[in-house]
Amino acid sequence: MQSFLDIFDIYLLEAVINGILLGGVLALLALGLNLIFGVIDVTWICYAELVMIGMYGMYYLVQVFHLPYWAAAPLVILLVALLGAALHFLVIAPLLTAPPINQLLATGGVLFILQSFATVAFGIDFRNLGIRLPVLALGEMNFSYARLLSFGAALLGMIGVYLFLTRTFTGTAIRAIAQDRQIMPLMGVDPKRIYLVTSAIGGGLAGLAACLLVLQYDVHPFVGLSFGPITFLICVLGGLGNFIGGFIAAFVFAEIISLGGLFSDLEWGYVLAFAFFIVMMFIRPAGLLARRS
C-alpha cells in the first residue's frame, strides 16, 4: 500500500507539472485571442487555424527547405502576423460596423477556407518536423524538453507583449483604444492603423504558438479543432479581453485536462474541462476575475 501511494504521488506530481507546462502554451494562445477581442471587439473563431497554417509553414521550411529551426521560427511568426493583418484587412474591416455575431460567423467562414485550403494544398497526411528532443528525467519523473522549451518560449513571448503594451507609444495607444474606442480618434490616434497592428501582433502570437506546438504535435488540416475550442473557452472563462484572467484560466484548464487525463482517458479530461467551463459560466458569467454585480 505504501509503495502504491509513493508511485501514485510521483505520477500526480508529474501530471501537475505537465499541466503547468501545457498551461504556458494555452496561455500564449489565449493572449493572442484576448488581445484581438479586447482591442477590436471581434472573436476570431479561426484563430487555431492560423496556428495550423503556421505549423505547416514550419514543416515546409524545416523539412522541405532544410532551414534550421531557429531560422524558420521568425519567418513563420512573420508569415502568420501578415496573415492576421490580411484577415483583418479583408474580412473584419468591412464588417466593423456589422453586428458582432456577423463578424464571428465571417471568421467561421475563414475557418472553413483555411482548413480546406490546407486539405487541398497539403493533403490530409499527418506530418511532423522529425525533430526528437530528449526527455529530461528528474528523479522518477519524465518531462520532454519540447514542453519545457514551449513553456519558456511562451512565457518570454507573453513578457515581450506585456513590455510592448506598457513601454511603447503604439502599445499605449492599443491599451487606450481598448478602454474607449470613441475618444481615441479625437486624441489623434488612427484606429485603423492600431487595429491592423493589433491583428498583426495577434497573428504573430499565433505564429509563435505554431512554432512551439509543432515540436509536440503532428500537423494535419484539422489540428486546429483539437486546441481551438479550448482556447476560446479559456478566454471566456478568464473574461473576454481580460489578459490576466485568461492567463489564470489557461493554467486552471491545463491542470483539469492533465489531472483528468491521469485518472482516466484524455478525452474525459477534456469533458471535465468543458463541463467545468459551463458550470463556471453560471457562477461567474463575466469571467473568473469579474466581481458579480
Partner 1 sequence: MNRQAAFWIIALIALVALPFVHRDPYHLHVLVLILIWSFAYTSWSIMGRFGLVSLGHGGFMGIGAYVTALLWNHLGVSPWIGIPLGMATAGVLALIVAYPCFRFRITGHYFVLVTLALSGIVLQVITATRDYTGGSLGYTPQRAPSGKGLFALQFDDKTTWYLIALAVWVLGLVIWRAIDRSMIRHAMEAISEDEDAAAAAGVNVTAEKLKITLISALMTALAGALYCQYQMFISPDTVSGIAVSLQMVFAAIVGGVYVALGPTVGAVITIVLAEVLRISFGTKAVGWDNLVYGLLLVLFIIFLPKGILGSVIDRIKSPRKPSRGHEQQTVPIARR
Residues that bind partner 1 (CB under 8 A): 37, 43, 91, 94-95, 98-102, 104-106, 108-120, 124, 221, 225, 228-229, 232-233, 235-236, 240, 265, 267-268, 270-271, 274-275, 277-278, 281-282, 285
Q: How far is the CB of 220 from partner 1 (least distance, A)?
A: 12
Name the 3-class secondary structure at 142.
strand
Beta carbon nearer to partner 1, 104 or 176: 104
Query: What amino acid is encoded at 293 in this protein?
Result: S
- Give 85's contacts (C-beta < 8 A, 6+ positions apart): 196, 199, 200, 203
Q: What is the spatial distance between Cα 156 and Cα 140, in angstroms, rounded to a whole number? A: 28
Q: How far is the CB of 240 from partner 1 (least distance, A)?
A: 6
Q: What are phi and psi of 190, to 5 degrees?
A: -85, 110
**Measured from the CB atom, is 157 or 269 closer to partner 1?**
269
Strands (E), 145-231: none
Q: Is residue 12 classed as helix, strand or coil in its secondary structure?
A: helix
User: Of 122 and 164, which CB lies nearer to partner 1 in the complex structure?
Assistant: 122
Minimum CB distance to partner 1 smaller for 13 or for 259: 259
Between 22 and 62, name the residue whose CB sits nearer to partner 1. Answer: 22
- Closest distance of CB 191 from partner 1, Å: 20
Q: What is the CA radius of gyration of the chain?
A: 20
Closest contact distance (angstroms) between CB of 85 and partner 1 is 17
Helix and strand totals (H; E) in the chain: 10, 2
